[in-house]
Amino acid sequence: MDKPRLYLETSIVSYYKARLSRDVLVLAHQQITMEFWERRLSRFALFISPIVLAEAGEGNPEAARARLEALRGFGVLPLTAEAERMASLYRSLAALPAKAYRDSLHIALASVHEMDYLATWNCSHIAGAETRRKVAEINKAEGVGQPMLCTPEELMEG
């Protein structure tokens, strides 16, 4: 049986490679991410995108190197005209704010490349309940794949 296809959004590798936070919620997300990375990641066919690579490469050079090194070996999905079109639809029809441009691209890339899952800690613009509902409606109407937009915690079962 083929492994489920997982698109890993940038927040996952950022939490995985960041210094441990003093914020209790962020620390919990970091610990879940570390456990997910070490125990569950191998159960998936892993994909990222040029957007993830660009975001992971930003900021402190040493931290960026660590994030990019952690992503080595992941498949890289191409940014296509169809993904850009879908991202535009998400921004207009799912009411994602202009500042969420990259977030809409993450969703679009996972959708048009028919990923089974998009893992993220971004519940404001990607894995929130209302965004999930609106994206599912748009994807159904457009005839593109419907990845499960979820957190690593939701992928820890089994």
Distance, in Å, from the CA atom of 68 to the CA atom of 17, rounded to the nearest integer, reads: 10
Q: Which residues of the chain have pLDDT under 50?
A: none
pTM given for the model: 0.94
What the block records as the tokens of 27 is 């620390």
Amino acid 97: pLDDT: 77
Alpha helices, DSSP H, located in the chain: 10-17, 24-39, 50-56, 61-70, 81-93, 101-112, 129-142
Distance, in Å, from the CA atom of 23 to the CA atom of 157, rounded to the nearest integer, reads: 25
Amino acid 158: pLDDT: 63
Distance, in Å, from the CA atom of 135 to the CA atom of 150, rounded to the nearest integer, reads: 13
Amino acid 1: pLDDT: 67
Amino acid 93: pLDDT: 83
Domains assigned to the chain: 5-155 (3.40.50.1010)
